[in-house]
């Protein structure tokens, strides 16, 4: 199929048309040409860091629960500290998501 371009002649009031030859279409890829996307680099390192972070959170939470059960007088300060850390993390997450939205 040819491409038809219509435009105005310079210095005249009449229109003219220019026909451009059609571009050949590429053949669809065959099974041999289709290759799976390569794995992102350092995927195993990211997975290991994610698991390490998860273990750290579980250990810290477990330690806080243990201390609160063994020493009930520390339960209230630990709860306040956890609430403050949670609020700070939430505020940081909100601030960083605002930055991403404005970009």
pLDDT of 20 reads 62
Residue 82 lies in a domain: yes
Residues 19-45 have a mean pLDDT of 69
- Count other Cβ atoms within 10 Å, centred on residue 64: 16
Q: Which residues pair with 20 in a beta bridge?
A: 3
Task: Confirm whether 15 is domain-assigned.
Answer: no
Q: Establish if 59 belongs to a structural domain.
A: yes
Domain coverage including residue 61: 43-102
- 74 domain residue, yes or no: yes
Q: How many domains does the chain have?
A: 1
What is the pTM (predicted TM-score) of this model? 0.47
In a domain, 18, yes or no: no
Q: What is the pLDDT of residue 44?
A: 84
pLDDT at position 91:
86
Q: Taking a C-beta distance cutoff of 8 angstroms, is the pair 5, 20 a contact?
A: yes
pLDDT tens digits for 39-91?
677 888 889 999 999 999 999 989 989 999 999 998 999 889 989 988 998 88
């Amino acid at each position: 199929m040819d491409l038809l371009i219509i435009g105005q002649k310079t210095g005249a009031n009449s229109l003219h048309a220019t026909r451009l030859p059609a571009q050949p279409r590429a053949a669809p890829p065959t099974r041999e040409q289709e290759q799976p996307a390569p794995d992102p680099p350092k995927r195993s390192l990211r997975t290991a860091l994610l698991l390490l972070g998860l273990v750290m959170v579980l250990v810290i939470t477990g330690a806080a629960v243990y201390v609160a059960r063994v020493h009930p007088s520390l339960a209230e300060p630990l709860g306040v500290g956890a609430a403050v850390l949670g609020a700070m993390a939430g505020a940081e997450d909100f601030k960083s998501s605002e930055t991403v939205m404005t970009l």
